[in-house]
Every structure is written in C-alpha cells, then in structure tokens.
Amino acid sequence: MDPLDLRPIGETALEVTALGLGCGTLGDPNEIIDEGRADATLAAAHAAGIRLFDTAPWYGNTKSEHRTGHYLRTRPRESFALATKVGRVYGRPDDLAAFRRSAPAARWVGGLPFELRFDYSGDGVRRSYEDSLMRLGLERVDALAIHDLDRKFHDEEGVEAGLRQLESDGGWSALQALKDRGEIQAIGAGINFVGLIPRFLERFELDYVLVAMPYTLLDQPALDAELQLCLDRKVSVVVGAVFASGILATGAVPGALYGYSAAEPEVAEKVRGMSAVCARHGVSLAAAALQFPFGHPAVAAVIPGANAPDQVQQNLEAMRAEIPAAFWDELKSEGLLRQDAPVPAA
C-alpha cells in the first residue's frame, strides 16, 4: 500500500496522503520531548512526502499547534495540508494552582498552562480559528474539524447544547463562511464514539469525519451503520487512533494503552491472539493496524501519532509491507476480526 497515495477529502479539492501525521503526540501526553526532537519528527514526515498534518488546540493545551507551526511555516505552503480543530477556546487560568490540579492539566504530562472552555458558537469558532492561526504562525489552514462534541467530554445535555450552538448560535455558519471565502477547504467533525456521526450528518454538510476509536483492527462498531452513511453522503473518513491509542503498536506489553487508559485483560488477550496470527504470516501488528482501515471505501487516510523520526519511518515501512489475504482470513476464522469487516486487497 502506497502511504503517499493522494486521496480527496469528500467532494472538495483538498487532497491528502493516505498516511498523515497525527500531531497529538507532539502535545506531550505521556512523555516530555524537547523542541529539537519535535522539529525532527515533523521534518522526517515532510521529507518523506507525508502531506497531511493534523493538530488541535487540545493537544498539550496548545503545545502541539505551537510545535507544528514552528516547523511547517518554514516549508512551502503548497507542500502540505494542515488540519486543526475548533470547539475549545484557551486562556490564562485565573488560579494557576487550581488549574494544575485539573483533569485537562493532568491529561498532558508536558502540556502548557492554559485553560480551556468549550464553545461551539459562532464567536467561539472564530476565536478558536484565529488563535490557532497565531499559534501556528500561518495565515490559513486547509481543514477545520469540530472537536470532541460527544460523550467523552460532555453529557447528553452538553452534546445537545453544543449542537444547538453550532446550528442556531452561529458555529456552523462561521465554519461555512470560512469555507465559502476559501480560507479553509474542508469542514470535519472529530468523534470518539459511535452515535454522533448520524446526528452531525442530519444537520450539517460535513466533508469528513475524524474517527478516533470506533474503527480499528481491534473494534469496528462504526461498521454497523456509520461508515456506510459516510459513504452514502460522500463524506470521507480519517482514522485517528489507528493503534487504538497504543496497544496495536506496542503489542500487549505491560502498561499497554487502549483507549488512552491501561488495557483491560480481555483487550490484551485479544491482541495476543492477533500477534500470534501475525507471527504465523510474517506480518507486523503495526502494519496490520495501519492498513486495515483502507479495506473500507469511505476511509481516505490514517493519521498515527509519532514523537520521534524513527517512528515516522516505521509507520511508512508498515504501510508499504505486503499482507497476504490469508492473514485476514485467519483473523476472521479465529474470531479476532468481524466476518463482515472489509479488508484491503492482497
């Protein structure tokens, strides 16, 4: 599979490489890296021909945007596609000590001391977008996604309130105006669970959805209805947490992460089973995880994270690895992959 294959996003003119770089890891979620290593990671991806870079204000409480822009603004603007997100607005906390004890601060080991508030209104979208441009040091981005408007960060009342802000309080109109003026080329939504894609698509004409967990080699709940809905509406799917936040890259090692938390025993056992099938076919688990989503025709790209140049190279090699059809057949026969899951052609 060619990781540098160019694919359109929805029905827009925006094209991205099949393999992108997810820049969440440059927000230092689990370890702190220095600025030189962050730059080298971005440089390795760009030099290899990767042309999709996905960041967000949330990653490192704005740290990822600073780092992503620090490198990319030195590159020719036509040489990359850049996506960021709206929905969180950042400012200086009134009580820094209290902020340091908060969940948003704890999420990022090396995050910056800025506090978020969720805001999906027109004013919130415009403020988030303009703040992102200043952090990035760029005059435009190629795509904006509505970020995390689901039950990972909101209860049902909060989800409905966010959707109302988008629909009635100017959030969607602000995004559409940016697209109409040519400041952005595509509008998306980033989600962590099934159930939100239909609610978005019944209200808004999205160009893509960024699916963070519901479609990986481990779990495919989005296959029940939502990916087909995207295909029917000509909405592209970008798969974010293609390694299920870690375990499909590391294997079931002690401390392996699944869904951004320690993997439960049953998850680790399933991954051990997958690893055994991988060994019998000479396939790496990472290669299987990276290539699996492309069996579905709605999927345009995957954006695994990396925080070191060698990780970028490993992802490129894993995308190019040959995987025999018998491998996918055995995963299904062993009950490790849904029978109806579409798989890439051998």
Dist. CA 200–CA 232, nearest whole Å: 14
User: What pLDDT, on a 0 to 100 scale, did the predictor assign at position 261?
Assistant: 87
List of the chain residues with pLDDT < 70: none
User: What pLDDT, on a 0 to 100 scale, did the predictor assign at position 44?
Assistant: 98
Largest CA distance in the chain: 58
User: What pLDDT, on a 0 to 100 scale, did the predictor assign at position 259?
Assistant: 87
Dist. CA 210–CA 6, nearest whole Å: 17
Helix (H) or strand (E) holding 90: strand 88-91
What does the domain layout of the chain look like in residue ranges?
6-262+285-323
Residue 34 CA, chain-centre distance (Å), reads 23
User: What pLDDT, on a 0 to 100 scale, did the predictor assign at position 206?
Assistant: 98
- Number of helices and strands in the chain (H, E): 14, 14
What Cα–Cα distance (Å) separates residue 171 from each residue in 40, 129, 162, 165? 36, 11, 9, 6
Structure-derived torsion over alpha carbons of residues 298, 301, 305, 307, reported in degrees to the nearest 10: 180
User: What pLDDT, on a 0 to 100 scale, did the predictor assign at position 293?
Assistant: 98
Dist. CA 260–CA 266, nearest whole Å: 16
**CATH superfamily of this structure's domain 6-262+285-323:** NADP-dependent oxidoreductase domain (3.20.20.100)
Residues catalogued as catalytic: 54, 59, 85
Closest listed residue to residue 18, CA positions, set 253, 267, 234, 294: 294
Question: Does the global pTM surpass 0.85?
Answer: yes
Closest listed residue to residue 144, CA positions, set 196, 181, 104, 190: 190
CB contact at 8 A, 173 and 122: yes
Helix (H) or strand (E) holding 197: helix 196-201
Closest listed residue to residue 118, CA positions, set 60, 52, 163: 163
Which DSSP letter does residue 305 get?
Answer: B
Identify the three-state secondary structure at position 60.
coil
DSSP string covering 226-287: HHHHHHHHT-EEEES-TTTTTHHHH-S-TT-EETTEEPPHHHHHHHHHHHHHHHHHT--HHH
Dist. CA 38–CA 151, nearest whole Å: 31
Neighbours of 295 (CB within 10 A): 13
